[in-house]
Amino acid sequence: MILVTGGAGFIGSNFILAWLRDHDEPVINLDKLTYAGNLENLVAVCEDPRYRFVLGGIGDSELVARLLEATKPRAVVNFAAESHVDRSIRGPANFIQTNISDTFNLIEGVRKHWESLPEQARLDFRFLHVSTDEVFGSLSDAAPAFTETHPYQPNSPYSASKASSDHLVRAYHHTYGLPTLTTHCSNNYGPYHFPEKLIPLMIVNALQGRPLPIYGDGKQVRDWLYVRDHCSAIMTVLSRGKPGETYNIGGNCERTNHEIVVEICALLDQERPKPDGRPYAEQIIYVTDRAGHDRRYAIDATKIRRELGWVPETSFDRGLSETVRWYLEHPEWVSRVQSGAYREWINLHYQKLERQ
């Protein structure tokens, strides 16, 4: 079996759904269920005998040790992280705790477990750490895209904390021989995305008649990656990646923030036109830019294509259309996530249960 940490979040839940669709191998999901962790994302597999959920965080060393000893996974895939730049600017302490200290606790526990395994199991074991292109900093408009050897230049508390965790993973491979894999992805989008990030926020705000706020001049550029393509890339790296290596995962799709919002508005005009026939783009406003806002990210995914044969399959037009349609078809999910009722239910449900 494999152990997934942070598997109730946006990318983690999509990964588990894809894994159980494509594999017979069981998966354990360890998640603390903070504000962006949502077991409702995994309703489709909650009764699947190959799936098991464990409530807890990667910073709980005793829990991690017990879980590893009891289940003996052949791989750990680490999605657990605080990941929102705006939140990191307003409250960096949680990012330092989760992305550095708690990640250290996880990887140290994994190291101890790995060292206790029989020789063949040690050779077969993998620790895959999911990171971000934001650790590389900001690119000028004409600069070449990030490669795996681009220097780290993080510019936000979030990206600095992720860079720190990347360095820990690298050090544990170099010092102890732990068979690690690290991936750097570009901006993900797709189903189950918590509505604080750009694409789901614009969809939800548009439908609610609220303003569509764009930072600064809206010309910040990101490379967009459909979350299901990201999941297939992670599976590829887990299966065929070389221990100690890093792999960039990108969607080959650079768009400005303004272009993204305009495309979302056009799709909503088609899929859910307003009763008065007016365009959603009229709701766009420009707001004061984010502090330290990186201008451009771009991923060079040549290495994963050349060495592992992975390429993204979903065009941006198709992926964005499917994403908009998903949010239109799941208003109850959006409502529960925004209201906080889901988190209240989780607290009530688990407060009397004994921690596993």
Give the integer Cα–Cα distance in Å for 100 and 207.
Answer: 37
- Give the integer Cα–Cα distance in Å for 307 and 241: 8
DSSP state of 51: E
Count of beta carbons in the 10 Å neighbourhood of residue 46: 11
121-125: long-range contacts (C-beta < 8 A, 24 or more apart)? Answer: 121/72, 121/74, 122/179, 123/179, 124/74, 125/74, 125/75, 125/179
CA-CA distance, 194 to 298, in Å (whole number)?
23
Sheet harboring 254-256: ordered strands across? 187-189, 221-226, 254-256
The shares of helix, strand and coil residues in the chain, as percent rounded to the nearest 5, are 50, 15, 35
Distances (CA, A) of 95 to 36, 88, 244, 256, 273: 14, 6, 25, 27, 40
In 3D space, the residue among 114, 207, 140, 130 whose CA is nearest the CA of residue 169 turns out to be 130
Catalytically active residues, by annotation: 133-134, 158
Query: Measuring CA to CA, how many Å separate 145 from each of 141, 252, 256, 299?
Result: 10, 10, 15, 5
Three-class DSSP category at 142: coil
Cα–Cα distance measured from residue 336 to residue 314, given in angstroms and rounded to the nearest whole number: 29
Strand, coil or helix: 11: helix
For residue 280, the 8-state DSSP code is G
Q: Could you tell me if 28 and 52 are in contact, meaning their C-beta atoms sit under 8 angstroms apart?
A: yes
